[in-house]
């Protein structure tokens, strides 16, 4: 008995010594919170935080190579997207990393549970006082100008011997609050005269003032019929209590897609307490209605799923990661994911931005085309109204700056020009990917000394493509209204990809998956219509000019469905 007690006491003493003598190392730090946040003082010591720790993944470099192999036309592995098990051989943490991090948490009386399919994320609840202690942190209440409060710390530390085993801890010094990339125009859309066409492509006269599905079908050659392959699913994300109303969709289809049954609808998936209430009808969100009406309205009968993520996890970080992890846990992932929300790249810590971006890489390797609205602040950030902010350097938007997603900018006019709000530029976190090296180099060479010192010349350039983004008619609370934004452009391009996938799957071929290597290829770029006029002003400048070839306003250009169909081998 004595011997056993002695061993137990000794073991506890060793554990205590480890917990109190570890050398801590600052793992991430930022000097100040973003200017949109104000400190309200220390977070209450007894407030419970749900903390998530990402353990270093096994082989991210190998995953990137695998993604490029299955996504690059001409590669022997093109189209052979990874299975769930194949993906997790790259993303699962090494046993020694997981064991080391788990042991450290246990030393601090913390039992963590797995929070991702690959087991790389661990989750646990602790009071603020405990989080401050184990991370050498100073968790504080910060209030956003929009009214929302976040608990964050400007810096945190981990044991020195665990630094290589931990990628990121959340919540910490990321201050992102997701915002939709659309602006509601509070005017009643009036029926326009539609007799006659503006162009030989059959673009109706009415399209000069308002954009409808018929306008987009005529401008881009989008087909009005599809096969509706069951394995071809177009997923649409919903955040910050933006809900898609079925009655408004029915009205929209009755008005603008009379060839479709007005009962055509969407499937619903909820995460993190998300919902999609239908009453009162006025609870519908502009963003959600826009996204659903222009995916169901353009891509049907391709199945569309609306993914509603709860408010508590809609801060631009874990709401997004939870959604991606939900898809990664599926045996068959959606073929297309359309997301019209974003933040400024400066709102995230670089480590969190990389972690989220790597999650998109993983989903792309599974065969999902991920499309993000590039943002609506020109070169001054992701949101409308930011073009004139007092900035001395350009502000990239995220996730559009992630190299593993396809970023969609906005155009306007029948003879298309760049919409002046279309966000675009160069990442300060992610380097320029090889697939766009030639296109971006050519643009920078032509740009010369314009905007020197205001952007990162070696960063990932965005957007990649564009479509119309001004004066889209939607139905909102039974009224026909107009909206602007790259939020209009993204579901449009996503629908084009979904329709191409529908034909590919019907022909026994793989869906397109990660698009960018194809889009920047000679065949892909040639299947897009170059937009060569306009710019995206901001920060007291004219921003970047659109020009021949790729540019950080409209990307490679707008879709030509017939040409894209040929380019993908149909």
Q: What positions carry a catalytic annotation?
A: 287, 291, 487
Residue with tokens 């996938």: 501
Contact 503, 565 (CB under 8 A): yes
- Give backbone dihedrals phi and psi of 106, rounded to 5 degrees, phi first: -65, -35
Contact 491, 340 (CB under 8 A): yes
DSSP per-residue letters across 88-111: HHHHSBPHHHHHHHHHHHHHTT--
Tokens of 383: 């949101």
Contact 531, 466 (CB under 8 A): yes
Spatial distance between the Cα atoms of 379 and 393, rounded to a whole number of angstroms: 9
Closest CA to 489 of 557, 565, 568, 563: 557
- Give backbone dihedrals phi and psi of 142, rounded to 5 degrees, phi first: -115, 135
DSSP per-residue letters across 179-199: EES-EEEEEEPPPPP--SBSS
Tokens of 196: 């006659």
Spatial distance between the Cα atoms of 445 and 437, rounded to a whole number of angstroms: 12
Pairing of strands 48-55, 179-180: unpaired
- Find the DSSP H helices in 190-278: 213-220, 246-256
Spatial distance between the Cα atoms of 462 and 427, rounded to a whole number of angstroms: 8
Q: How far is CA 395 from CA 112, 330, 372, 383, 505, in A?
A: 37, 35, 17, 11, 39
Count of other CB atoms within 10 angstroms of residue 361: 24
Q: How far is CA 469 from CA 142, 182, 185, 511, in A?
A: 34, 9, 13, 26
Tokens of 412: 């306007």
Q: How far is CA 124 from CA 96, 139, 285, 507, in A?
A: 20, 16, 33, 47
List residues bridging with 409 in a β-sheet: 466
Spatial distance between the Cα atoms of 286 and 261, rounded to a whole number of angstroms: 23
Closest CA to 28 of 170, 219, 143, 148: 170
Spatial distance between the Cα atoms of 143 and 403, rounded to a whole number of angstroms: 31
- Give backbone dihedrals phi and psi of 236, rounded to 5 degrees, phi first: -125, 125
Instruction: State the number of CA atoms in the 13 A half-sphere of 532 facing the CB.
Output: 4
Spatial distance between the Cα atoms of 312 and 269, rounded to a whole number of angstroms: 16
Tokens of 17: 């010594």
Residues 6+ apart with CB under 8 A from 484: 182, 183, 185, 376, 384, 410, 419, 421, 469, 470, 471, 472
């Amino acid at each position: 008995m004595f011997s056993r007690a002695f061993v137990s006491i000794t073991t506890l003493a060793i554990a205590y010594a480890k917990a109190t003598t570890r050398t801590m190392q600052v793992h991430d730090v930022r000097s100040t919170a973003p200017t949109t946040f104000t400190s309200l003082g220390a977070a209450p010591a007894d407030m419970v935080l749900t903390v998530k720790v990402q353990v270093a993944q096994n082989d991210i470099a190998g995953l990137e190579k695998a993604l490029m192999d299955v996504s690059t036309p001409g590669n022997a592995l093109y189209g052979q997207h990874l299975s769930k098990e194949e993906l997790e051989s790259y993303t699962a943490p090494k046993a020694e990393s997981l064991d080391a991090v788990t042991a450290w948490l246990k030393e601090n009386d913390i039992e963590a549970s797995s929070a991702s399919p690959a087991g790389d994320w661990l989750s646990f609840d602790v009071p603020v006082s405990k989080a401050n202690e184990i991370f050498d942190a100073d968790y504080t209440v910060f209030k956003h100008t929009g009214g929302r409060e976040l608990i964050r710390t400007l810096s945190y530390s981990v044991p020195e011997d665990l630094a290589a085993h931990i990628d990121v801890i959340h919540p910490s010094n990321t201050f992102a609050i997701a915002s939709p990339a659309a602006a509601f125009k509070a005017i009643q859309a009036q029926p326009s005269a539609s007799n006659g066409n503006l162009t030989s492509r059959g673009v109706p006269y009415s399209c000069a003032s308002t954009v409808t599905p018929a306008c987009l079908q005529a401008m881009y050659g989008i087909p009005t019929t599809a096969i509706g392959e069951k394995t071809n699913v177009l997923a649409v994300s919903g955040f910050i209590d933006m809900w898609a109303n079925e009655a408004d969709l029915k009205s929209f289809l009755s008005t603008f897609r009379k060839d479709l049954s007005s009962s055509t609808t969407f499937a619903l998936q909820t995460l993190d307490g998300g919902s999609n209430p239908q009453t009162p009808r006025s609870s519908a969100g502009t963003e959600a209605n826009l996204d659903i009406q222009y995916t169901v309205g353009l891509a049907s009968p391709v199945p569309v799923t609306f993914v509603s993520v709860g408010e508590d996890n809609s801060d631009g970080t874990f709401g997004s990661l939870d959604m991606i992890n939900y898809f990664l846990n599926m045996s068959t992932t959606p073929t297309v994911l359309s997301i019209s929300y974003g933040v400024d790249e400066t709102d995230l810590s670089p480590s969190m931005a990389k972690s989220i971006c790597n999650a998109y890489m993983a989903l792309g390797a599974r065969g999902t085309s991920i499309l993000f609205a590039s943002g609506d602040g020109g070169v001054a950030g992701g949101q409308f109204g930011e073009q004139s902010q007092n900035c001395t350097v350009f502000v990239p938007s995220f996730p559009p700056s992630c190299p593993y997603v396809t970023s969609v900018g906005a155009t306007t006019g029948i003879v298309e020009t760049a919409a002046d709000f279309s966000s675009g530029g160069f990442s300060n976190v992610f380097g320029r990917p090889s697939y766009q090296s030639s296109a971006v180099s050519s643009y920078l060479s032509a740009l010369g000394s314009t905007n020197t010192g205001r952007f990162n010349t070696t960063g990932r350039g965005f957007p990649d493509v564009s479509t119309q983004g001004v004066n889209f008619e939607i139905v909102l609370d039974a009224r026909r209204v107009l909206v602007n934004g790259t939020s209009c452009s993204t579901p449009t391009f996503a629908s084009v990809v979904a329709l191409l996938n529908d034909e590919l799957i019907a022909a026994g071929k793989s869906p397109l998956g990660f698009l960018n290597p194809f889009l920047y290829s000679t065949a892909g770029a040639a299947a897009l219509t170059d937009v060569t006029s306009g710019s995206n002003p901001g920060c007291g400048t004219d921003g970047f000019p659109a020009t021949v070839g790729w540019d950080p306003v409209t990307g490679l250009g707008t879709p030509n469905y017939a040409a894209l169909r040929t380019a993908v081998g149909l």
